[in-house]
């Protein structure tokens, strides 16, 4: 992106949809649905990730996510969490498409615990199947520029490398690789996973990411609603700093006040 726009024009686009907020938030792991709704509202997010699961037949009147996070107000981004094969991912997202009526999806095929690292061979296979089925695929992936390029060439609409393992809160462990992917990509790049606190989100945006996706950093904060506000501010700060262009780093001092002129004697 460039710095020619005014801040009010600073939007980003994925799969033909335009968004102002550069924070995408997950809807899992909150204390309850009421807190989920309040935290998402505070985050200012326009896109929320959701999972697709069997309805609990023994409790059909249990409150549903839609009652607290209005799908007319937020773009639901269904994920493939729990899917280990291309077939499972396609089947799950076809159901999501019918439930929500859109094609924009988050593909994630995870390896085993304890790292849940992206399973890239399975991710490629699932991406191919989903693209063939007409989905617009935002893809969770490792921080490998070769893999990222291949996903873009396949037709994925956003590349979403991890900053650290899912739910770890370790922050951006791989700024060099994130930057490399940002520089080579013509589709949006988002850090997805690893953000732990506000400064991590700022770092991701300062690296030039188009947006940041997080869940646990907000949901597992002591005060999720307040952390959601912090993340909103952090993403905006990082974006502004990126557009503003940071000063060069130096390895010696460079004084801000004149050191020789006009001193009293």
> Does 191 contact another protein by CB under 8 A?
no
- Output the smallest distance, CB 134 to another protein, in A: 13
Contact present, 240 and 201 (Cβ < 8 Å): no
Radius of gyration of the chain (CA): 20
Candidate residues 28, 111, 155, 165; the one interacting with another protein per rule CB under 8 A: 28
Sole binder of another protein in the list 12, 76, 124, 242 (CB under 8 A): 76
State in angstroms the smallest separation of the CB of 69 from another protein: 9
Q: How many CA atoms lie within 13 A of 108 on its CB side?
A: 25
Residue 194 known to bind ligand: yes
Query: In sequence order, what are the residues at sequence separation of 6 or more whose Cβ sits closer than 8 angstroms to the Cβ of residue 10?
Result: 1, 20, 239, 243
Among 4, 6, 16, 54, binds another protein (CB under 8 A): 54
Residue 50 contacts another protein per CB under 8 A: yes
- Indicate whether 160 belongs to the interface with another protein (CB under 8 A): no
Q: How many CB atoms lie within 10 A of CB 195?
A: 31
Q: Which one, 19 or 30, has the nearer CB to another protein?
A: 30
Active site residue ranges:
106
Residue with smaller CB distance to another protein, 112 or 248:
112
Give whichever of 113 and 248 is closer to another protein, judged by the CB atom. Answer: 113
Residue 21 neighbours by CB under 8 Å, 6+ apart: 43, 44, 45, 46, 47, 211, 232, 235
60 binds another protein (CB under 8 A): yes
- 28 known ligand binder: no
Whether 116 contacts 141, CB under 8 Å: no
Q: Is the dihedral of CA 215, 220, 221, 226 positive or negative?
A: positive
Answer yes or no: is 215 a known binding residue.
Answer: yes
Quick one: which of 5, 53, 132, 226 contacts another protein (CB under 8 A)?
53
- Encoded one letter per residue, x for contact with another protein by CB under 8 A and - for no contact, window 84-113 reads -------x--xxxxxxx-------------
**By rule CB under 8 A, what count of residues binds another protein?**
39
Burial of 5 (0-12, 13-18, 19+ CB in 10 A): exposed
Shortest distance, position 63 Cβ to another protein, whole Å: 11
Smallest gap from Cβ 30 to another protein, in A, equals 7
Under 8 Å between Cβ of 225 and 39: yes
Three-state DSSP class for residue 144: coil
| DSSP string for 75-88 | EEEEB-TT--SHHH
Closest among 92, 94, 97, 71 to 80, alpha carbons compared: 92
Residue 81 binds another protein (CB under 8 A): yes
Residue list for the binding site? 167, 193-194, 215-216
| Contact set with another protein (CB under 8 A) | 26-30, 33, 36, 49-55, 57, 60-61, 64-66, 71, 76, 78-79, 81, 91, 94-100, 166-167, 193, 214-216
């Amino acid at each position: 992106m460039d710095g020619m726009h005014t801040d009010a024009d600073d939007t980003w686009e994925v799969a033909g949809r335009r968004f102002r907020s550069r924070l995408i938030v997950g809807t899992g792991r909150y204390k309850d649905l009421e807190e989920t709704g309040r935290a998402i509202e505070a985050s200012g997010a326009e896109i929320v990730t959701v999972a697709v699961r069997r309805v609990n037949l023994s409790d059909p009147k249990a409150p549903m996510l839609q009652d607290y996070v209005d799908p007319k107000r937020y773009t639901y981004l269904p994920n493939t969490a729990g899917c280990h094969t291309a077939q499972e991912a396609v089947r799950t997202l076809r159901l999501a498409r019918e439930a929500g009526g859109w094609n924009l999806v988050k593909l994630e095929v995870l390896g085993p615990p304890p790292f849940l690292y992206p399973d890239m061979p399975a991710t490629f296979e699932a991406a191919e199947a989903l693209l063939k089925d007409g989905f617009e695929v935002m893809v969770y992936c490792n921080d490998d520029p070769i893999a990222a390029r291949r996903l873009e060439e396949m037709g994925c609409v956003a590349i979403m490398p991890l900053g650290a393992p899912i739910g770890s809160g370790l922050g951006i462990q791989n700024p060099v690789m994130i930057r490399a992917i940002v520089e080579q990509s013509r589709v949006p790049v988002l850090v997805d996973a690893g953000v732990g606190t506000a400064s991590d989100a700022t770092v991701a945006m300062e690296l030039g990411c188009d947006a940041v996706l997080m869940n646990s950093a907000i949901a597992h904060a002591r005060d999720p609603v307040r952390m959601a506000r912090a993340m909103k501010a952090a993403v905006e700060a990082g974006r502004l700093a990126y557009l503003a262009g940071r000063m060069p780093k130096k390895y010696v001092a460079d004084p801000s006040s004149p050191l020789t002129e006009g001193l009293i004697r």
